[in-house]
């Protein structure tokens, strides 16, 4: 394949919705997420001219930094981006401010209100504020309360709160947290972020399904035999051992990212492209989803944990050898699940979901496998008939692939599968934005379509409650299967599909 030449006519042409004058307030501004994801995403929005000139970013954390120190720290954290466009960074960084704030101290939050008014004067941000809680999850509720008590969430048109994952630890805690945040503001002010929904390919599932007539008629139990949803990472736990030990793959990935992908793949068509209509359909499908065996969940779930691996030259440590991890940890770094959705569209179609760290490849995808042709008229060149598959690649190489049989060249009539591919990067002039770019823009626009609503979050937690209870009460019934680093997970996960006569796709 020839290298893709950028489409020069596409550069700079984005026709985006316009963000109103705005002050984005990030709590936890000294943390990892701010300099790794949020500020780079905002800088990208700035370079694309999607931020209004009346924009300010106010970083808040307990550290006693000045505006200048904050700007310096952000520049240090993204040297290549700054060096690439020093003038743009200079202009952008002039919009960064910092205020030392401890959200637990009411006097700090009152002082924050004063600073925001000053910023409104200075930057003409018109009182539009987006508060981003990039803090420890235990402060989500109290953080919202502090903001509400200080009157900063009073105006539902001008103020909103973005809350990072995880939203709760289980169904009960998610309900309790929803209760707290909803007492602080209206539901349309609460933006529960799931950065997977910011990915073009996840959103493309909606377009693919509902903008084309060819897919929707076959997007059901009559034509689809199974669905696989995979989010595989090659990295280990890295510096997140403290958090990961208390969460594990089920809470860290399945309950949020994978469940959102499942909801978008399986939802009914909304009546209109409207934030509430879409979120309602997602919530409905999650309410209809269940574990394949709720009474004996060990029959439909496999947990794993990566062990050592790699090569002699570059060995990889196992999870239990990672810094900050308990040597006897039973935290899962891999989960494979089988689910069903009890509605007219999906009755009887198994949904297999898997995620893991230190797997063979970094890949996220949704694979829809279609039923085999009722009669096989032709010999298959590969030995047996191949089911059609539609593969929606979420990352990397965002795009889609459709696998179907064609005639194998030659005098006989033998069939063989081929892949018809669509790649975002190749088909459009520019690579897709990071999920945070889209989601930050949407939050500032006040558009919650790609954020999860309270009932969606609760339905997602409720779906996994039997598993969470089992892990809590009798973990031996869901044993941890070790797997070698950089493989496709434990053999037990393969057995889960083998029982249904299926295989995991090897992407």
Catalytic residue numbers? 257
Task: Output the CA–CA distances (angstroms, integers) from residue 20 to 38, 50, 202, in the order listed.
Answer: 18, 10, 26
Q: Cα-atom radius of gyration of the chain, to the nearest Å?
A: 24
Nearest distance in Å: CB 242, another protein: 40
Judge whether 306 and 335 are in contact, CB under 8 Å. no
**Pairwise CA distance, residues 388 & 403, whole Å:** 5
Nearest distance in Å: CB 108, another protein: 23
Judge whether 308 and 316 are in contact, CB under 8 Å. yes
Nearest distance in Å: CB 350, another protein: 37
Count of Cβ atoms closer than 10 Å to residue 87 Cβ: 7
**CA nearest 191: which of 465, 19, 445, 461?**
445
Cβ proximity to another protein, 17 vs 138, nearer residue: 17
Nearest distance in Å: CB 140, another protein: 24
> What SS3 class is residue 67?
helix
**Pairwise CA distance, residues 12 & 284, whole Å:** 39
Nearest distance in Å: CB 133, another protein: 22
**CA nearest 269: which of 288, 257, 282?**
282
Cβ proximity to another protein, 52 vs 417, nearer residue: 52
Cβ proximity to another protein, 153 vs 258, nearer residue: 153
Quick one: tokens of 17?
């919705």
Task: Output the CA–CA distances (angstroms, integers) from residue 450 to 37, 90, 207, 240, in the order listed.
Answer: 18, 31, 14, 26
In the complex, the residues that contact another protein under the rule CB under 8 A are 2, 4-13, 15, 18-21, 49, 52-54, 120-121, 124, 126-127, 154-158, 186, 426-429
Judge whether 156 and 421 are in contact, CB under 8 Å. no
Q: Answer left, alpha or beta for residue 348, where phi above 0 means left and psi between -120 and 50 means alpha.
A: left
Judge whether 147 and 184 are in contact, CB under 8 Å. yes
DSSP state of 35: I
Cβ proximity to another protein, 21 vs 309, nearer residue: 21
Nearest distance in Å: CB 127, another protein: 7
> What SS3 class is residue 142?
helix
Nearest distance in Å: CB 92, another protein: 12
Cβ proximity to another protein, 7 vs 136, nearer residue: 7
Nearest distance in Å: CB 85, another protein: 12
**Pairwise CA distance, residues 207 & 201, whole Å:** 10
- Report the 3 state secondary structure along 283-343: HHHHHHEEECCCCCHHHCEEEEEEEEEECCCCEECCHHHCCCCCCCCCCCCEEEEEEEECC
**Pairwise CA distance, residues 260 & 256, whole Å:** 6
Nearest distance in Å: CB 416, another protein: 25
Task: Output the CA–CA distances (angstroms, integers) from residue 379 to 263, 329, 382, 384, 415, in the order listed.
Answer: 37, 51, 9, 8, 6
Cβ proximity to another protein, 20 vs 330, nearer residue: 20
**Pairwise CA distance, residues 136 & 140, whole Å:** 7
Residue linked to tokens 């309602």: 280
Judge whether 55 and 123 are in contact, CB under 8 Å. yes
Compute the half-sphere exposure of residue 41: CA atoms within 13 Å on the CB side of its CA: 21
């Amino acid at each position: 394949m020839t290298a893709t030449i950028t489409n020069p006519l596409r550069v700079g042409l984005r026709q985006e919705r316009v963000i109103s004058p705005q002050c984005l307030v990030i709590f936890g501004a000294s943390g990892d997420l701010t300099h790794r994801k949020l500020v780079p995403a905002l800088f990208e929005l700035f370079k694309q001219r999607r931020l209004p000139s009346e924009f300010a970013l106010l970083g808040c954390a307990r550290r006693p930094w000045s505006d200048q120190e904050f700007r310096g720290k952000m520049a240090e954290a993204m040297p290549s981006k700054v060096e690439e466009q020093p003038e743009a960074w200079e202009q952008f960084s002039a919009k960064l401010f910092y205020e030392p704030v401890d959200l637990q101290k009411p006097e700090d939050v009152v002082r924050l209100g004063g600073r925001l008014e000053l910023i409104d004067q200075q930057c003409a941000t018109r009182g539009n504020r987006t508060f981003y809680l990039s803090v420890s999850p235990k402060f989500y509720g109290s953080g919202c309360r502090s903001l509400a008590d200080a009157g900063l969430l009073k105006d539902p048109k001008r103020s909103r709160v973005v809350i990072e994952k995880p939203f709760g630890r289980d169904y009960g805690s998610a309900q309790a947290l929803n209760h707290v945040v909803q007492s602080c503001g209206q539901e349309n002010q609460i933006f529960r972020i799931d950065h997977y929904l910011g990915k073009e390919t996840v959103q493309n599932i909606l377009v693919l399904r509902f903008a084309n007539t060819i897919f929707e008629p076959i997007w059901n139990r009559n034509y689809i035999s199974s669905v696989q949803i995979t989010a595989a990472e090659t990295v280990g736990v890295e510096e997140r051992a403290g958090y990961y030990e208390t969460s594990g793959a089920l809470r860290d990935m399945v309950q949020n990212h994978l469940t959102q992908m499942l909801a978008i793949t399986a939802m009914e068509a909304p009546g209109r492209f409207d934030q509430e209509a879409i979120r309602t359909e997602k919530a409905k499908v999650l309410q209809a989803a269940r574990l394949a065996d709720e009474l004996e969940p060990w029959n439909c779930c496999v947990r794993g944990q990566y062990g050592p691996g790699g090569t002699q030259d570059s060995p990889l440590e196992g999870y239990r050898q990672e810094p900050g991890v308990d040597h006897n940890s039973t935290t899962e770094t891999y989960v494979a699940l089988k689910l069903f959705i009890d509605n007219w569209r999906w009755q009887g179609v198994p949904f297999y979901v898997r995620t893991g760290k230190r797997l063979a490849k970094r890949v996220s995808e949704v694979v829809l496998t279609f039923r085999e042709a009722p009669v096989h008229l032709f010999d298959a060149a590969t030995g047996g008939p191949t089911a059609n598959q539609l593969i929606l690649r979420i990352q990397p190489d965002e795009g889609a692939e459709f696998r179907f049989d064609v005639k194998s060249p030659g005098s006989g009539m033998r069939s063989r599968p081929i892949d018809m591919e669509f790649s975002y990067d190749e088909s459009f002039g520019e690579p897709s934005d990071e999920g945070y770019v889209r989601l930050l823009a949407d939050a500032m626009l006040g558009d919650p379509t790609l954020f999860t609503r309270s009932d969606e979050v609760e339905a997602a937690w409720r779906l996994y409650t039997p598993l969470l209870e089992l892990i809590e009460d009798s973990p031996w019934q869901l044993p941890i299967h070790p797997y070698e680093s950089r493989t496709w997970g434990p053999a037990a996960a393969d057995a889960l599909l083998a029982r249904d006569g299926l295989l995991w796709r090897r992407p």
